Amino acid sequence: MNEIIAPLVDEIIRALGTTLNRAIVEDELTRLLEFKVPPEEARRSLLKKYGVSEVRRLSDLQGGERDIEITARILDINLKVVGIKDQERNIFMGTMADETGAKSFTAWKDFGLEPGDVVRVNNAYIRTWQGMPEINFGPRSKVEKLDRDTLDALATADVDRAFPLAELVEGAAAVHTIFRILECRHKEITTKNGPRTIVSGTAADHSAKLPFTSWESNPTLVQGTTVEVKNAYIKLWRGVPTINLSEFSTISRSDTDISNDELSPLLNHEPVRLDSITGRDGVFDAIIEGSLISIRPGSGLIIRCPQCSRVIQKNTCRVHGVVEGIYDMRIKSILDDGTGALTVVLDADLTQKVTGYSIEKAREVAASAMNQSAVEDEMRRRLLGRSMLARGNMTKGEYGITLVADDASLTEMDTAAEAAALIKEMGYAGPVQSGGT
- 113 touching other proteins, by CB under 8 A: no
- 396 touching other proteins, by CB under 8 A: yes
Residues 305 and 320 sit within 8 Å (Cβ to Cβ):
yes
Strands (E), 299-355: 300-304, 316-317, 321-322, 326-336, 341-346
Quick one: 116 or 435, whose CB is closer to other proteins? 435
Task: Report the 10 Å Cβ neighbour count for 337.
Answer: 18
- 432 touching other proteins, by CB under 8 A: yes
CA nearest to 120, candidates 93, 95, 143, 92: 143
The only residue of 341, 375, 403, 408 in contact with other proteins, by rule CB under 8 A: 341
Quick one: 198 or 334, whose CB is closer to other proteins? 334
Quick one: 370 or 416, whose CB is closer to other proteins? 416
Kindly write out the interface string for residues 251-290 of this chain, putting x where it contacts other proteins by CB under 8 A and - elsewhere. -----------------------xx--x------------
3-state secondary structure of 66: coil
Q: CA angle at residue 87 from 84 to 124, to 5 degrees?
A: 45
DSSP state, residue 22: H
The only residue of 338, 349, 369, 371 in contact with other proteins, by rule CB under 8 A: 338
Shortest Å, Cβ 165 to other proteins: 20
The only residue of 20, 33, 263, 293 in contact with other proteins, by rule CB under 8 A: 293
Is 314 exposed, middle or buried (CB count within 10 Å of its CB: 0-12, 13-18, 19+)? exposed
How many Å apart are CA 429 and CA 434, to the nearest integer?
A: 15
Quick one: 35 or 399, whose CB is closer to other proteins? 399
- 430 touching other proteins, by CB under 8 A: yes
- 84 touching other proteins, by CB under 8 A: no
- 336 touching other proteins, by CB under 8 A: yes
DSSP state, residue 161: S
Per DSSP, helices labelled H in 166-291 are: 260-267
- 297 touching other proteins, by CB under 8 A: no
Residues 391 and 369 sit within 8 Å (Cβ to Cβ):
no
Cα 352–chain centre separation:
33
Site size toward other proteins (CB under 8 A) is: 46
| HSE-CB of 15 using CA atoms within 13 angstroms | 19
- 434 touching other proteins, by CB under 8 A: yes
- 340 touching other proteins, by CB under 8 A: yes
How many Å apart are CA 58 and CA 102, to the nearest integer?
A: 7
- 427 touching other proteins, by CB under 8 A: yes
Stretch near other proteins under the rule CB under 8 A, chosen from 77-85, 86-94, 169-177, 416-424: 416-424
Is 322 exposed, middle or buried (CB count within 10 Å of its CB: 0-12, 13-18, 19+)? exposed
The only residue of 334, 359, 374, 404 in contact with other proteins, by rule CB under 8 A: 334
The only residue of 294, 352, 373, 409 in contact with other proteins, by rule CB under 8 A: 294
Quick one: 139 or 430, whose CB is closer to other proteins? 430
Stretch near other proteins under the rule CB under 8 A, chosen from 25-33, 142-150, 170-178, 383-391: 383-391
> Would strands 118-129 and 87-98 be described as parallel, antiparallel, or unpaired?
unpaired
- 412 touching other proteins, by CB under 8 A: yes
Shortest Å, Cβ 329 to other proteins: 20
How many Å apart are CA 70 and CA 155, to the nearest integer?
A: 13
Residues 122 and 51 sit within 8 Å (Cβ to Cβ):
yes
The only residue of 8, 32, 126, 342 in contact with other proteins, by rule CB under 8 A: 342
Which residues make up the interface to other proteins (CB under 8 A)? 274-275, 278, 291, 293-294, 334, 336-342, 380-381, 384-387, 396-401, 412-413, 415-416, 418-420, 422-432, 434, 437
